[in-house]
Structure formats: structure tokens, C-alpha cells
């Protein structure tokens, strides 16, 4: 995420023009250009590293291979990331942040107070499509193996903050669903973890099967799992197809109608 940069009023204007020597104003611009160059380096490195970590796993991936694939020296790589763990964790944090922001941008107000289960399913699609559209990041997550059991990763403070934000969204949704009589009563934090485990299993099957199934079919399958696992039987019967294998056509149409509404 971009951080807002604030400037104090009067610092530049308070100096008389004669006091500003030729060239003195170039240093900040040079620093800005260097920062931009460093950011591009890091983005390029992370894209390459993401693929190598996904293909080889953390233990087998080597910094030398990442540097070689990125077309930079090993020294340059270590200037950006002191070690393999730093690079791996920085990559996961960056993608986690992008994914969470994408979900919240989809409609934070509605996430706080949804009106229908279809609305909950609709916003959940953003999270799923992000993972499906970033298969290397997804494979890195699956290699971690504990998306539903966060403490196993011994998270950094930054990772813990993002986890807490994401879990709060899930707890809010489950609290709403239980209060409306749509979901079976259960501890909302436990339900949030169960949802993450469910999604991880479905997505792992997709990867293991060669990622051949369409994104749409994977998402619909997870949405049907959600209904079967969390909704009361009478509500599930209204949302699922007669055989219970997937969402009914009416439910799918209602979800698609939400996609056409202005955010």
C-alpha cells in the first residue's frame, strides 16, 4: 500500500529565493528516482522469486538461482533482501496485503452489514479470484500449509495485523449470518478458520489436478461448500440445486446481478 506523505507548510516558502543555490534542489529528486529504481528492482525480484519458490519450494530454492533468473548479481539481491527468509516473507506479506485490499475495496460497507447470503458469496469471490489469478502465490501459500492455523507461521507484527484485519471481516460476516438465523450457531472465530481450511483444500485440489478447471467452476464449488457447511438446512435448500451438488441457477443469477451494481 502507498503511504501518504505529508509536508509541513511554510518550510519551502519560508526561505528567501536568494538562499537557494543552483543544484541544491536536485538531491531530493535524485533520492526519489533512486527509490523508484529500487522499487522496480524489488518488484522484478519478487516476481521471479515467487515463481521459483512456487516451483521448487522454500527449502530447495536458492538465492543464486533467483538472482540468475532475475538477471542481477547475487550481491545486488542481498542488498535488497538480506536472506532467503526475508525475501520469502516479504513476498507473502506483499501479496497478502494486495489480496486483503482487493477484498475490502470490493465493498467494505457491505462487508460490515450485508443484506443477503448472496452478497457474502459475492464478496468472497474477490479473495478466491485473486488466488486463482496468482497461482504461484497460491502454491506458496499451500506449501506453508497452515493458512487456517496462523500462529504456526510465527507471524511478524505486520503479518499479525493483516491476519487480524482479515479475521475481523470473517467474524463480522459470521456474526451477521447467525444473528439473521441463516447460519448454524457456532463460535465465529472457529467458523472463520474452518472457511480458510475449506478453501485451502479446494484450491489444493485444483493445483494438484493441474489447474485445468476454470476459475469460475472452482469458485462455484467453494461457494456451494460454504452453503453446505455453514447454513441451516432450510436455508441451504433454498440456495443449492435440488441434488445439493452446487448452487441453484437462481442463486448464481442473483450473485451475478450484484456484480453489475455500482460499487
- Domain of 131: which CATH number? 1.10.357
Dist CA 115 CA 218 (whole Å): 25
In this structure, the answer to whether residues 51 and 148 fall within a common structural domain is: no
Is 202's pLDDT higher than 80? yes
Cβ proximity of 171 and 189 under 8 Å: yes
122 neighbors 219 (Cβ within 8 angstroms): no
- Average pLDDT of span 9-22: 36
Which residue is associated with the grid cell 522499487? 39
| Number of Cβ atoms within 10 Å of the Cβ of 21 | 7
Domain that holds residue 33: 26-82
pTM to 2 decimal places = 0.78
Structural contact between residues 137 and 50, judged by C-beta atoms closer than 8 angstroms: yes
Q: Do 254 and 124 share a structural domain?
A: yes
Question: What is the number of domains present in the chain?
Answer: 2
**Greatest mean pLDDT range, 12-21, 109-118, 155-164, 207-216:** 207-216
Same domain, yes or no: 101 and 185: yes
Q: Give the residue with greater pLDDT, 132 vs 96.
A: 132
What angle in degrees, to the nearest 10, is found between the helix axes of 188-208 and 117-133? Answer: 40
91-to-48, 136, 209 alpha-carbon distances in Å? 11, 11, 25
**pLDDT at site 261:** 63
Q: Measuring CA to CA, which residue among 185, 189, 163 is closest to residue 231?
A: 185
Q: Does 31 lie in the same domain as 111?
A: no
Query: How many Å is the maximal CA-CA distance in the chain?
Result: 82
Strand partners, 183: 231
Amino acid at each position: 500500500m502507498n503511504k501518504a506523505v505529508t509536508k509541513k507548510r511554510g518550510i519551502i516558502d519560508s526561505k528567501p529565493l536568494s538562499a537557494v543555490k543552483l543544484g541544491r534542489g536536485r538531491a531530493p529528486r535524485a533520492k526519489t528516482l533512486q527509490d523508484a529504481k529500487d522499487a522496480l528492482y524489488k518488484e522484478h525480484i519478487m516476481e521471479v522469486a515467487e515463481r521459483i519458490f512456487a516451483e521448487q519450494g522454500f527449502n530447495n530454492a536458492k538465492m543464486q538461482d533467483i538472482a540468475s533468473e532475475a538477471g542481477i548479481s547475487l550481491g545486488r539481491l542481498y542488498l535488497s533482501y538480506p536472506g532467503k527468509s526475508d525475501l520469502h516473507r516479504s513476498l507473502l506479506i506483499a501479496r497478502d496485503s494486495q489480496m486483503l485490499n482487493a477484498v475490502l475495496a470490493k465493498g467494505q460497507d457491505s462487508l460490515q452489514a450485508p443484506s443477503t447470503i448472496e452478497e457474502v458469496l459475492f464478496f468472497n469471490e474477490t479473495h478466491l479470484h485473486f488466488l486463482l489469478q496468482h497461482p504461484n502465490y497460491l502454491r506458496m501459500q499451500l506449501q506453508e500449509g497452515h493458512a487456517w492455523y496462523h500462529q504456526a507461521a510465527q507471524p511478524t507484527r505486520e503479518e499479525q495485523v493483516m491476519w487480524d484485519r482479515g479475521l475481523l471481516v470473517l467474524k463480522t460476516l459470521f456474526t451477521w449470518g447467525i444473528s439473521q438465523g441463516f447460519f448454524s450457531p457456532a463460535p465465529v472465530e472457529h467458523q472463520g478458520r474452518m472457511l480458510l481450511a475449506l478453501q485451502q483444500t479446494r484450491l489444493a485440489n485444483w493445483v494438484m489436478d493441474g489447474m485445468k478447471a476454470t476459475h469460475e467452476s472452482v469458485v462455484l464449488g467453494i461457494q456451494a461448500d460454504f452453503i453446505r457447511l455453514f447454513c441451516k438446512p432450510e436455508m441451504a435448500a433454498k440456495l443449492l440445486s435440488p441434488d445439493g451438488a452446487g448452487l441453484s441457477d437462481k442463486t448464481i443469477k442473483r450473485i451475478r446481478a450484484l456484480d453489475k451494481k455500482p460499487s
